[in-house]
Amino acid sequence: MNSVLEKCRLCPRKCSVNRKMQTGVCGMLDKMVIARASLHLWEEPCISGDYGSGTIFFTGCNLKCIFCQNKQISTKNIGKEVTLEEFAAICLNLEKQGASNINLVTPTHFVPLIIEGLKLAKKQGLNIPIVYNTSSYENKETIRMLNGLIDIYLPDFKYYDNHYAVLYSHAPNYFEVAKEAIEEMVRQVGEPQFDERGMMTKGVIVRHLMLPNLKDDSKKILSYLYQKYQDHIYISIMNQYTPIQHFERFEELNHVISPDDYNEVINYAINLGIKNAFIQEGGTASDSFIPDFLHSNLPL
């Protein structure tokens, strides 16, 4: 499995570098690096539950969003190298703490290592759902490698118009790539399923983070998702975009989402007929929701 990293084409960048020797766009070599592992209460209610989702934030990223709220780990490589045994121990420790699931955040570039680590953890008794939390800038072939290991897919759907995908995330063909990846996710896990507590045990929740001045793009995404999947997935419509730096070139990104724009998009979703959806209240655009990666200890 690790031989995949010797000519890495895990993501749509298809760098083809030997990650035993050099990094690709993701910035990572062939060893797993984790920035934070902890219980997280700010996911969708059916993911976080009462005790929190067991989130594991991986260092590095194959997407290059200029507005990234996790730049400390996506581009500055803050994190700790861990072995597969240590990764398995982190998963088991989070389960012991009461985690509702194991939530793999920005995992794409470590998929072969994650597969081996999850198999090891399951052999040692890991018995809670596994969540794959991704930007959706994914090769469908990489998602296929995860078949049978992932219970819940939590993909973003950032852009409909590839113009904005290139402008803000340097990601050509984002829409086509994300569309195919999400199709494979839905094929694998099927209809949403919940336990007696209302916690999701299987299924797909597609997240859409609204960006300033892009409400029409948001509407196109919602329309596409509902026409394609109807009520066979959940959609999470998010207003928590937070400017964490000042942009000279992209002045529009210096603003949070206005309540009027968010309400307009929510009403559009309702009029489409979308019922399986999560929406956010006010006050979510705050850096207090961004994890502190500089002072985090891994639960080993």
CA dihedral 263, 134, 165, 22 (to 10 degrees): 160
Task: Specify if 196 maps to a domain.
Answer: yes
From the list 243, 258, 278, 255, the residue with the least C-alpha distance to 42 is 278
Residues of the chain with pLDDT under 70: 1-2, 72, 75-76, 282-300
Note whether residue 297 is domain-resident.
Answer: no
Nearest to 209 by CA among 183, 245, 178, 230: 178
Q: What pLDDT is recorded for position 268?
A: 98
What is the total count of domains within the chain?
1
CATH number for 203: 3.20.20.70
Computed over every residue of the chain, the mean pLDDT equals 93
295 inside domain: no
Q: Give bridge partners of residue 57 from the DSSP assignment.
A: 36, 105
Rg (alpha carbons) of the chain, rounded to whole number: 18
pTM, entire model: 0.94
Ranges of H-type helices in the chain = 45-48, 71-74, 84-96, 111-123, 140-145, 162-169, 174-189, 215-229, 259-272
Instruction: List all residues 6 or more positions away from 183 whose beta carbon is below 8 Å from its beta carbon.
Output: 140
The confidence score (pLDDT) of residue 281 equals: 79
Asked whether residue 20 is assigned to any structural domain, the reply reads yes
Q: What is the pLDDT of residue 70?
A: 78
Does residue 137 sit within a domain? yes
Give me the domain span that covers residue 216. Answer: 2-289
Domain annotation covers residue 119: yes
pLDDT at 77: 77
Q: Which residues in 142-162 are b (16+ Cβ under 10 Å) and which e?
A: bbebbeeebbbbbbbbbbbee
How much is the pLDDT for 282?
64
Compute φ and ψ for 163, nearest 5 degrees: -55, -45
**What is the distance, to the nearest Å, from the Cα of residue 4 to the centroid of all Cα atoms in its chain?**
22
Q: Is residue 294 part of a domain?
A: no
Q: What is the pLDDT of residues 73-85, one digit of tens each?
A: 776 678 999 999 9
Residue 298 in domain: no
